[in-house]
A and B are shown apart, each in its own frame.
Chain A
Amino acid sequence: MKTRDLAYVALFAAIIAVLGTLPAIPVGPVPITAQTLGVMLAGAVLGGRRGSLAVLLFLVLVAVGLPLLAGGRGGLGPFAGPTAGYLLSWPVAAFVIGRLTERTWDRYNVLVGTLVNVVGGIVVIYAVGVPVLKAVVGLPWGEAFWTGAALFVPGDLFKAFVAAAVADVVRRSYPVIERPRRAAGTR
């Protein structure tokens, strides 16, 4: 990996950390935070490989004890708690968003981006997060779905839109994802 890619990865790990300082809203065992916005941005701006590595790097920083998660949490505790599934789903989410963004790069706009972010940032995260939450807290499916997913849909839809809008501006002014090879001759 080139030093430039390494710097981008480190930058987005830092961005996710800084988004954690925005106030989080505790609603039951899983809080609403701005950090998933950072996860979506990492995928949408850096692409699949670098995006997922950025999220992974952020999780390493948390695991070694830096209080970087929303609400000042850090260490290995969060990886054993009710939010463990969400944390572990983040690199996957960034990877899926990144790959889909790369695929749709030539016709990327706010709408396409929002859809991509919904698939990677909402479907993937809930698919991993809710079962783990249910297992750790011992809630029935209905309640696990309510406190672990349904509550977050409005906020996450908004975050998906915000990440797409920002990624779209970055795409036009400072593209980090390379254009797909097959389209190279069209311009």
Chain B
Amino acid sequence: MTLALYVPGTGVVHRLPAAAKLLALAVLAVALFALPSLAAAGAALAGVVAVGLLLARLPVAVLTRQARAVVWWLVALLAVHALTTDLRTGAHVALRLLTLVLAAAVVTATTRVSEMVRVVEAVCAPLRLVGVRPARVGLAVAMALRFIPVLVERADRIRAAQAARGGSPRGVRALRTTVAPLLVQVLQMAHDVSEALDARGADDDPSPRRRAQEAP
């Protein structure tokens, strides 16, 4: 799973502010649920694909990769609806899901993570009143995004190591021999990352009140 989906570019979509793109995504999501018609969902899908390929000039692979990730989900939705309600509803629900996934892919492919983080920080600014520091929220978001591919890689490494020793344990035993050690390992990693950040001045807190509290 790769979240580093950013594709460099200089088109209109790339230059739009991240806040505008996120807002558009939110509006599209609400609109898709508010307009329960197959035609509207189809038009939205066509629109999203047009924006992604023609306006943002993204490679087709960016969109197909996202579509492939949900293809079984779409098939399952169709099947469940064909059995319980009708195929038309199934097609609508599936089309809506595909549209949203592709729209999200277009936004993530044309927006740097750092820009996304800045939007979250801006949205969190009012929370300053209740003691939340927006920069810390931004730091947490950035760390979470970085940890996702790291976790996948660590899990793969443990699996490979076990395969090399002749097969991997299954069932409840796997919890003790695989899952728990992996968790301990990544907890240690998170701790190391935080110490490295503090050493580089991440713990700088401008408020003098807190300084005084934390003084020995």
Identify the A interface with B (CB < 8 A). 1-4, 6-11, 13-15, 17-18, 21, 23-24, 26-28, 41, 45, 57-58, 60-61, 64-67, 71-77, 80-81, 162, 165-166, 169-170, 173-174, 176
Contacts and interface: CB of A to CB of B under 8 A. Distances in A.
Interface stretch (B6-14, B52-60, B147-155, B160-168): B147-155
B26 interface: yes
B32 interface: yes
A162 B175 contact: yes
Contacts of A9: 140
A8 B187 contact: yes
B25 A75 contact: yes
B176 interface: yes
A58 to B, nearest CB: 8
Contact of A3 (B107, B151, B176, B197): B197
B1 A21 contact: yes
Given A6-B194, A76-B26, A173-B184, A165 B175 contact: yes
A73 B77 CA distance: 13
Contacts of B203: 2-3
Interface of B: 1, 3, 22, 25-26, 28-30, 32-33, 66, 69-70, 72-73, 76-77, 80, 84, 96-97, 100-101, 103-105, 107-108, 116, 119-120, 136, 139-141, 143-145, 147-148, 150-152, 155, 172, 175-176, 179-180, 183-184, 186-191, 193-195, 197-198, 202-203
Given A24-B73, A28-B84, A66 B108 contact: yes
Given A11-B186, A173-B184, A1 B136 contact: yes
Provide the main secondary structure of the chain B interface: helix
Given A7-B193, A162-B175, A174-B184, A65 B202 contact: no
Contact of B151 (A8, A18, A23): A18
Nearest to B73: A71
B186 A6 contact: no
Nearest to A41: B183
Contacts of B76: 26
A26 B83 CA distance: 13
Contact of B190 (A1, A11, A165): A11
B120 A64 contact: yes
Contact of B66 (A15, A72, A77): A72
Nearest to A25: B76
B170 to A, nearest CB: 13
Given A10-B144, A26-B73, A165-B175, A3 B202 contact: yes
